Structure 1
Amino acid sequence: MYLIGAVFGGFVALLLFLALIIVVLRLQSQLIFGIYPAKGIFYQLKYVIALLLVKRLRHRVYHNKDELKSPEFLAKIDCPQTLSDNPQSYDVVTFIGASEQGEKIFMNLERRRRGVLKACIYLYLPELGLYCTPKLPDMLYFTTDGSHENDEFKGCGFHVYPEESMRAWRIRYEGELRPVATGGKLLPVEMDLQFITQAPFFYYNRDLSSAVIADSVAREAWNDAFYNLLKSVPEMVEKRIHYEQSGQLAGEVQLSGRSFELQLRGFRDHSFGTERCLSNINRYVYVALFLADGTSMMVGNLSQPAFFLSSLKVGYVCTPTGVYEPITGCNFELYSYGEKGTPPRHKNFIVQTSKAKYFVQIEEQQSTVRYVGADWAAKIYNQFVACTVNGVRGQGITEYLYKNKNSERPEAVSATDPEWFRRVKSFERSLSKCEDDDSEVFFF
């Protein structure tokens, strides 16, 4: 009888302990600025659990994924993607480069349905300053009449395309640029660059450090909404493909009759899928640095509370030989850098990988602003910077995104939009107000 009572008592104690653990995991730690969770008292417990779960999930998904290395798979993903019928379907490429002399380039092209292209170019030449595409800070271009799709990164003077899967891309632009600082006259430009690389690619779904994911998840409250979201993680991952690659950007730029030969250290990324809603992003910061010793570094912090990732560190250090070392920790916290809406001109932070620690010092040379989204849902600052990492000098570009509250694309900017696009935007507004309107197909 005593034995039965002891067993029953132990069982009850175990249930109470498990119930206590569940209650503890559901607790929300202190929120900094009402957004960013601090490390709560039970952070270490949650971190260990999260780390084990992330590693197990990744092993199950990727340990037999030999197709990720096959030429067929690489050719399939490393090209303009067919946009699906999903209203949020997207396909984005970005190229960034910098030289030791301080020359820098940034190009971003995002394909959306009906031939909509969101595009921008920044060209920084130390002797002349910063130039950009004429429409900035607006990025919307229309490459078709809205009745059919554009299956290339092409139109309005832009043409970016792969020449060899995971080895070479061509970047061309023929049009005009204007000086950012003075807002001066438009200058004719012809740009013909090639991105080349022998490095592998950094596949975020597979290669991002499990440690930084566990750190972000461990800060969150593990409530019912969190567990419901976990069930859809595999499906969500398949809808978001993002990879990056280090390499070289080289070619010629002819600007207003002057010719510039560029030899830049560079990187590119490619993202596509259907789950990329700017309204769900609170903030993010990305830092791309290229050092004199051949090392490059991509470090970021993403705040997306709707997906229980209020402070997710991302990135890697790429060695001169093309080996990616994922960051395992970083003290770059969003609430310490530009939380009030203006990026700081100077930044100091520490980045860790499994093999080394890096002390990063950044100083802004010039900054500019652009807006993204059909209603300017987000505001982006791009900074053109000089840096020092562990005493090694370098150059780079940073990107700060903020949610643009009470956003609306100005009439002065949208006045030249085609009529079909105005109808679509009107239809979107009717949907947001729960009005009945079947005149258009919702796609933004």
Structure 2
Amino acid sequence: TINLHGFRIAAAGRGGGLGPAHAAHPPAGRPAAVRCLRPSRPLYAAFLLLLQLRRLRRNKDGKAEQAGMGAVDAVYFNGADQLGNNLIMAASRRQRNLLQCLSILRLRGVGLLEHPSHPDTNFTATEGGGFSKSDMRIECLEPMQTWRLEFDGEMTLLPEAEAEKRRRQLGTTGGGCGRRVRVRAQLTWRALHRQFDFDTDQDSHPLAEAVASEEWSQEMFKRLESVHQTHYEQFGEITGPVYVDDEKVADLKLQGARDHSYGNHRVWSDLYRYGLQYIYLQDRTCIAIGCVSMPNYLSKPSTDFRIRCLAGGRAYTVQCRAADQAVFCMGTAAEVRIYERFCDFEVNGIRGWGISEWCYRSSEPWPAWEHAEQSAA
């Protein structure tokens, strides 16, 4: 989807093209490849009709279908600026008192700051804690308009001199590397545009094409219904001060996206790969381009790549250069690895900045995977 000064349009991806053309080989521990079926045109037309009828009925009722609460209730925030400052903060409430959180800051003149638990993101939630734990607080102040993002605790610091080495090779060192510092961030997120609800706003054509690639059966449709989640995204601006060891090091003004997902089902091992790009341009254009694959696996993303897409009858060429990254695990058994990459973008000649998030599934636990990557390097 692309938001041009508040006007949302969908960029429909074509099947089989997820990921950079020259991606590096997959790391150790990847699952076996699963065959990719070409979509059946009759099934595509049938499911597209079902989606359009469902949307007409939903518009007539004046409300969207909700996925329900149960397995997951998750919020995610990212932000970037043209100076090279970046932020990632997220929290996911799960069953059995599990809270999955991550906190990442990249500050110009300071370096890369990560929560010392990374790559592990699993915590025990405190009673009544919502999206918060002892050192992090995420709180909605006004729905769809304002959120509070706070951090007060230890993070590991990878100084800029060390980060320069990572820029050359984009290594996989997690949050355990670097010295411990105390970080305080008192930030406010404010909406720049309205939310984009994937239940009501996304283009039906790529969804119909994806479903038409599966072998249809009653069991398949039951499974499809069970994994449905309500998910929406919204561009906004993050502002506020950051202190390191009680010294004020930045007054942030970052642009990026937030999302909110909830539903009765989320198993990270269902995801084999995805690539999500969140971009803010100098002319205030906001762009989100993404593709998710459940039956295949994802190679490690390359440092630079180019995306070409068509939206609203206009062609877009997106050039990405990853300057740095942080890596962490998601899932109770670390089923997937997620790269949060801090990037410079150029879209049709206009400079921008933002976040490129890549995920792939691995069957190996983190220590074995990390050792294999570092040995290969």
User: When the two structures are superposed, what TM-score results if normalisation uses the length of structure 1?
Assistant: 0.66
* In structure 1, C-alpha distance between the alignment counterparts of 2:192 and 2:178, rounded to whole Å: 40
Name the structure with the higher helix share.
Answer: 1
The 1:288/1:164 distance shift into structure 2, 3 A limit, reads same
Match of 1:141 in 2: 123
The 1:198/1:101 distance shift into structure 2, 3 A limit, reads closer
Amino acid at match of 1:348: R
Q: Higher mean Cα deviation, 348-357 or 286-295?
A: 348-357
Structure number, greater radius of gyration: 1
Q: Given the alignment of the two structures, is residue 252 of structure 1 paired with residue 246 of structure 2, yes or no?
A: no
- Give how far 1:211 is off: 1.4
- Give how far 1:51 is off: 2.2
Contact 1:143 1:156 in 2 (8 A): no
Correspondence for 2:156 among 169, 178, 188: 178
Match of 2:185 in 1: 191
Alpha carbon RMSD of aligned pairs, Å? Answer: 2.9
- Give how far 1:194 is off: 0.8
* In structure 2, C-alpha distance between the alignment counterparts of 1:175 and 1:277, rounded to whole Å: 30
Match of 1:57 in 2: 54
Match of 1:159 in 2: 137
Match of 2:332 in 1: 374
- Give how far 1:199 is off: 2.4
Correspondence for 2:266 among 276, 281, 293: 276
Match of 2:172 in 1: none
* In structure 2, C-alpha distance between the alignment counterparts of 1:208 and 1:394, rounded to whole Å: 24
The 1:140/1:34 distance shift into structure 2, 3 A limit, reads closer
The 1:357/1:136 distance shift into structure 2, 3 A limit, reads same
Match of 2:206 in 1: 212
* In structure 1, C-alpha distance between the alignment counterparts of 2:96 and 2:156, rounded to whole Å: 28
Match of 1:47 in 2: 44
* In structure 1, C-alpha distance between the alignment counterparts of 2:103 and 2:305, rounded to whole Å: 25
Contact 2:256 2:354 in 1 (8 A): no
The 1:114/1:409 distance shift into structure 2, 3 A limit, reads farther
* In structure 2, C-alpha distance between the alignment counterparts of 1:258 and 1:36, rounded to whole Å: 53
Q: Higher mean Cα deviation, 355-364 or 106-115?
A: 106-115
* In structure 1, C-alpha distance between the alignment counterparts of 2:271 and 2:241, rounded to whole Å: 37
- Give how far 1:45 is off: 4.3
Q: For 1:285, what is the secondary structure of its paired residue?
A: strand
Amino acid at match of 1:401: C
User: When the two structures are superposed, what TM-score results if normalisation uses the length of structure 2?
Assistant: 0.77
* In structure 2, C-alpha distance between the alignment counterparts of 1:378 and 1:90, rounded to whole Å: 17
The 1:386/1:217 distance shift into structure 2, 3 A limit, reads same
Correspondence for 1:109 among 67, 87, 91: 91
* In structure 1, C-alpha distance between the alignment counterparts of 2:33 and 2:223, rounded to whole Å: 26
Contact 2:44 2:209 in 1 (8 A): yes
Match of 1:290 in 2: 280
Contact 2:64 2:199 in 1 (8 A): no
% same residue: 27
Structure with greater contact order relative to length (CA < 8 Å, sep ≥ 6): 2
- Give how far 1:151 is off: 4.9
* In structure 1, C-alpha distance between the alignment counterparts of 2:344 and 2:226, rounded to whole Å: 40
- Give how far 1:111 is off: 1.4
Correspondence for 2:255 among 259, 265, 290: 265
Contact 1:137 1:370 in 2 (8 A): yes
* In structure 2, C-alpha distance between the alignment counterparts of 1:184 and 1:50, rounded to whole Å: 51
Instruction: Map 1:359-438; keep pairs closer than 5 Å.
Output: 359-407=317-365
Aligned residues: 324
Amino acid at match of 1:290: Y
Match of 1:97 in 2: 79
Match of 2:174 in 1: none
The 1:234/1:137 distance shift into structure 2, 3 A limit, reads closer
Match of 1:37 in 2: 36
Could you list the per-position Cα deviations for residues 249-296 of structure 1 after superposition, in whole angstroms to 9, with x for gaps in the alignment?
Answer: 111111231331111112111111221111222111111111111111
Contact 1:376 1:409 in 2 (8 A): no
* In structure 2, C-alpha distance between the alignment counterparts of 1:132 and 1:297, rounded to whole Å: 26
Amino acid at match of 2:220: L
Q: For 2:200, what is the secondary structure of its paired residue?
A: helix
* In structure 2, C-alpha distance between the alignment counterparts of 1:155 and 1:391, rounded to whole Å: 42
- Give how far 1:235 is off: 5.7
Amino acid at match of 1:37: C
Name structure 2 gaps, 5 residues minimum. 1-14, 19-31, 163-176, 369-377
